[in-house]
Amino acid sequence: MKLEDLAVRVFEAAEAENVEFMAVGAIAAGAYGVPRSTRDVDLLVSVKIPGNVAALMRHLSSFVDFDPQVTFDTLTWGRRHVGTSTTSPPFKVELFETFDDPFVISEFDRRRKVFVPILQRETWLPAPEDVVVQKLRWGRSKDLDDARDVLAVQGPETLDMAYIEHWCAIHGTLARLEDALAGIPPLD
């Protein structure tokens, strides 16, 4: 099974369980920037309805084995559920729960349905500005590359740079934003 097929199955399961979600990570960054290879499907899922994450995990249990131990994101301390697909090859499926973080709340409220070419379907994604902010916040080298690529492909002139700068100031990532903007190759 290809990762794209697994992602569609995960999104369909969330929709079937009426779980509000959005794809994050490499899928979201690739939809707005430069697609890159990844070995996981990442979803930010709403916990507004009690029990919906557990219902989604039960729905996915026919093809994803979740670790019974909840882990915590080391940057924000948000709860996440990590699973491994039973497909060949195996892929990681991570469900990040929404929580009381001002940026996460804003990001989720701004989500939108977007056609994702690699998946050949629409799905819920963060706004491109939120992908940039989150990638800069995580700060791993692949995340910084993703942020630069989204900025380059979308073009700073089309993005709400004041919004991005606002959150980067709060997160202490303005220097990362400046580096990402400086790393955009010039158009010839």
Largest CA distance in the chain: 53
Helix residue spans in 36-156 (DSSP H): 52-60, 102-109, 128-138, 141-154
Q: What is the pLDDT of residues 108-159, one digit of tens each?
A: 999 999 999 999 999 999 999 999 999 999 999 999 999 999 999 999 999 9
Closest listed residue to residue 131, CA positions, set 29, 30, 7: 29
87: helix, strand or coil: coil
pLDDT tens readout for residues 50-73: 999 999 999 999 999 999 988 887
